[in-house]
Amino acid sequence: MLKLSDERILITGGAGFLGSYVLEQLKKKGNSEIFVPRSKEYDLVEKEDIIRMLKDATPTVIIHLAAVVGGIGANMQNPGSFFYKNLMMGVQLMEQARLAKIKKFVALGTICAYPKFAPIPFKEEDIWNGYPEETNAPYGLAKKMMLVQSQAYRQQYGFNSIFLLPVNLYGPRDNFDPDNSHVIPAMIRKFHEAKINNKKEVILWGDGTPTREFLYAEDCAEAIILATEKYDESKPVNIGSGEEIGIAKLAALVSDEVGYKGKITWDKGKPNGQPRRKLDVSKAEKYFGFRAKTKFKDGLRKTVEWYLKNVK
């Protein structure tokens, strides 16, 4: 077991949504040697910036959370840049980490890497059995290349890297930007703005039939830290709650929590995304003892409360 308080840890994306929770939990464990690179100082798409960052940070462990990411709309508008930037960040960072003899590399993938019609619940063994859902395939495949690299590097070089597959995250401090946020923060903002502007109708994408699984960001941070401490294989591991909810039901829950009383209309001309998402989360509990703690309604309430306190 890796004692993290003895390690120098570099967290890419450490200033972001999920990264802020990982950072908090590491500090609670007594880790004071944490390096969080900022994008204005280090462009992780550029090899020279990665080399300079590793020289400045001298880490023994890397947790790679940084990603260029967004909802369905952002993925459809930016497939090329999402593919290129995520691929180059992951591939070059892991290669330079290997050359720098980093003790452990933790790579975060995405549920978008799974085939569009993977059997429910998604099992790690099914990750290569089909092409991902089209609207986010470039992003999902770019992130999945770190799994290939992790396994190849372990085989050839004995490089200790792991690959985690988190489900859709939510929680306080999420990205609520209307252009590139994910479904829960996007709905919270839409319903809140409709409420304060007395709008009688909110229009949402798709037909409401898809299902999704959500994981509270603080729980995901705990899973990442447990895996960093205890897991040392290159087999991918799902990180989720194991609970599935329909998008129409989600919309009703969010509108109730926000206090919006108007009508919800579905724009069936817009894409649904993947039909269903639900993970088999048994391996995370088996390999490193992770089980999600936060009940969805409790996490949603905390997220809405945070947004209402911090909305500009």
> What order do you get walking across the sheet with 34-35 strand by strand?
34-35, 9-12, 61-64, 104-108, 161-166, 237-239
Q: Are strands 211-212 and 245-246 parallel, antiparallel or unpaired?
A: antiparallel
Contact predicate 35/8, CB 8 Å = yes
Q: How many CB atoms lie within 10 A of CB 60?
A: 18
Rounded Cα gap, residues 47 and 89, in angstroms = 9
Q: How many CB atoms lie within 10 A of CB 5?
A: 12
Q: Please identify which of the residues 42, 114, 139, 260 carries the catalytic annotation.
A: 139
Contact predicate 189/257, CB 8 Å = no
Cβ within 8 Å of residue 33, ≥6 positions away: 7, 8, 9
Each as own residue / partner, the long-range contacts of residues 13-20 (CB below 8 Å, 24 or more positions apart, any chain) are: 13/64, 13/65, 13/66, 13/67, 14/63, 14/65, 16/65, 16/66, 17/169, 17/171, 17/173, 17/174, 17/175, 17/217, 18/65, 18/169, 18/217, 18/220, 18/221, 19/65, 20/173
Structure tokens, 183: 């479904």
> Known catalytic residue: 21?
no
* Length of the chain as a residue count: 312
Residue tagged 């001298």 (tokens): 58
Q: How many C-alpha atoms does 77 have within 13 Å on its Cβ side?
A: 9
Q: Which residues participate in catalysis according to the annotation? A: 139
